[in-house]
Amino acid sequence: MSFTSFGFLLFFGVLLLLYYIIPKPWQWRLLLAGSIFFYAFAGWGAMAYMAATILSTWFCGRKIGTCFAGHEKWLAENRATSDRETRKTKKAQAKAAARRWMLAGILFNFGMLAVVKYADFLLGNVNGIIGLFGGGEETVPLPHFLLPMGISFYIFQSMGYLLDVYRNKYQPQKNLGKFALFVSFFPQLIQGPISRYDALAPSLLAEHRWDTATAAFGLQRMLWGFFKKLVVADRLMAVVRTLSGNPDEYQGVYVLALMAVYAVTLYADFTGGIDVTIGAAQCLGIEVAENFNRPFFSKSTAEYWRRWHITMGSWFRDYIFYPVSISKTMLGWTQKVKAKFGAGAAKRFPVYLATMLTWFVTGVWHGASWNFIVWGLLNGVIILISQELEPLYARFHERFPGLGRSFGWRLFQVGRTFWLMGAVRVLDCYRDVPVTFRAVGTIFTRFDLSVLWDGSMLALGASGADWLAAGAGALLMLAVSLVQRRGSVREQLAEKPLALRWAVFGALLLAVVVFGAYGVGFDANQFIYNQF
């Protein structure tokens, strides 16, 4: 059930009505039933994967809690009579037992994800290697598993919960139904965000009374999301498909156009879906984490990734980068590097290795194909190169102190980051690494600006009306981002006269209805991040 379908609007309207008229203690149960109903539209077979994640994670979390609780009970009973070594041994035993349950949950769920999402990719590469030595085209049959909707999102969210329980950040949820709601909460199933249990659960499981102002804010956020998705993203997607689908025909400046158009399309599509997610949750009185913070204003790649898909980045940082970089194994390797190559190399080694591993996993998370792996590794390389160049930047700004504070320099940094990320992001468009590098190379060998004004851009699957509607929408998105520097746009509008507020949101609704991409040639049913 897509957010942009009439079925979703009907479903959410009925759910919202029932949510506030049933007894408050039943609200979370209604949300659980609604989430199961919502996910069932993706196929009942897909429910088996989610059920496996819910049951295994809840069970392992309870077992981890039992290990720690047992140790606490023993400690309370034997603290006065036991010596330090005995207490230390008992603690280590409890930690080891908890670790076994944590690893069991991790291996089961990531193993399931690996099978359904990556089996074809791995076996396809095996067939490719066999083919090099004269084997058949498909020596190893490919299973072709159906990828369940949102499986990467809910498994990563569940594993974050399990790791937090293992780290004693909070106690495991004893109620299976409440935990199932945390995993399956329907607004964030399609494309996130990847929520943390301690951030989402308090409002998700609380009792809520109708609040007109809160519901109005939620509906406004949903409307803004529909505008970005239907008016901007879905109109520009035809251009992205035309340019990326014909790399031999569209080269040079067309590749630059693809970088720019896809950047706007992906941002409008992804943030539009997140706006609907956050808005729908807010209508229900539930707080969901923000996932974007004006990323196109970033002045460096590292800053960009602190602003884009924030919950994914923080997940990889907290559960992969930091644990890997400070692990005992890494410490041992670092000491060997220091003995052989010196303190400078030892200082960089854990950061470099953890960064590249994190970005490799990030690439694999996005998709089971080489273009995503190369995309992830390129991001890691760019970030590390930027870190190495920081002393040079510092000396440059010492030499020219006024330049670094100037608007022109900041604008240059923003533009540089935008195009650099665009160049890496086209790996997502072409889905083929050699094709991508050849296409980017034509920017320098077949550069011809005349295609921008000779009418060629009107033959890319979008009419002049499409360009006008999407362009006006993109400019409005830019204006809203600029206004957001002073705080929430909705809160700023709430302080304006009632007539002005109604006029603004009425115009936005009219724009969605009149200029939204519907009908033949448009696909308003799928969000780009559904595939992940």
Higher pLDDT, 138 or 123: 123
pLDDT > 90 fraction of the chain, expressed in percent and rounded: 71
pLDDT tens readout for residues 86-105? 989 999 999 999 999 999 99
Torsion of CA 455, 460, 463, 469, to 10 degrees: -110
What is the rounded average pLDDT of the residues 125-152? 77
pLDDT score of 527: 65
pLDDT score of 526: 62
Looking at residue 10, its amino acid is: L
Q: How far is residue 508's CA from residue 165's CA, in Å, rounded to a whole number?
A: 44
What is the rounded average pLDDT of the residues 135-143? 70
Other Cβ atoms within 10 Å of 333 Cβ, number? 15
pLDDT at 478 over 90: yes
pLDDT score of 367: 87
Q: Indicate the range of 131-145, 168-182, 265-279, 337-351 predicted with least confidence.
A: 131-145
Q: How far is residue 208's CA from residue 454's CA, in Å, rounded to a whole number?
A: 58
Count the alpha carbons within 13 Å of 137 in the hemisphere toward its beta carbon.
Answer: 0
| Torsion-angle region of 43 (φ positive above 0: left; ψ -120 to 50: alpha; else: beta) | left
pLDDT score of 287: 95
Question: 226-237 burial by CB neighbour count: b if 16+ within 10 A, else e?
Answer: bbbbbbbbbbbb
**Which residue's entry shows tokens 């470099």?**
352
Higher pLDDT, 396 or 35: 35
pLDDT at 521 over 60: no
Q: How far is residue 114's CA from residue 365's CA, in Å, rounded to a whole number?
A: 10
pLDDT score of 144: 78
pLDDT score of 522: 47
Q: How far is residue 245's CA from residue 57's CA, in Å, rounded to a whole number?
A: 41
Other Cβ atoms within 10 Å of 111 Cβ, number? 10
The length of the chain is 532
- Given pLDDT bands bounded at 50, 70 and 90, which one contains residue 62? very high
Q: How far is residue 318's CA from residue 308's CA, in Å, rounded to a whole number?
A: 16
Q: Helices in 146-252 by DSSP H: which ranges?
A: 151-166, 176-184, 197-204, 212-226, 234-245
pLDDT at 28 over 80: yes
Per DSSP, the three-state class of 293 is coil
What is the rounded average pLDDT of the residues 363-367? 91
**Which residue's entry shows tokens 């400070």?**
326
CA distances from 93 to 60, 62, 217, 233, 400 (A): 17, 17, 50, 54, 59
Q: How far is residue 244's CA from residue 259's CA, in Å, rounded to a whole number?
A: 10
Higher pLDDT, 310 or 132: 310
pLDDT score of 30: 97
pLDDT score of 296: 95
Chain-centre distance of CA 374, in angstroms? Answer: 18
What is the rounded average pLDDT of the residues 107-120? 92
pLDDT at 519 over 80: no
Is the Cα torsion angle 78, 79, 80, 86 positive or negative in sign?
positive
pLDDT tens readout for residues 185-228? 999 988 889 999 999 999 999 999 999 999 999 999 999 999 99
Q: Helices in 187-320 by DSSP H: which ranges?
A: 197-204, 212-226, 234-245, 253-283, 301-307, 310-316
- Given pLDDT bands bounded at 50, 70 and 90, which one contains residue 525? very low
pLDDT at 138 over 70: no
The CA-to-CA distance between both ends of the chain, in Å, stands at: 16
Q: How far is residue 28's CA from residue 532's CA, in Å, rounded to a whole number?
A: 27
pLDDT tens readout for residues 383-434? 999 999 988 888 888 888 877 778 888 999 999 999 999 999 999 999 999 9
**Which residue's entry shows tokens 């498994």?**
155
pLDDT > 70 fraction of the chain, expressed in percent and rounded: 96
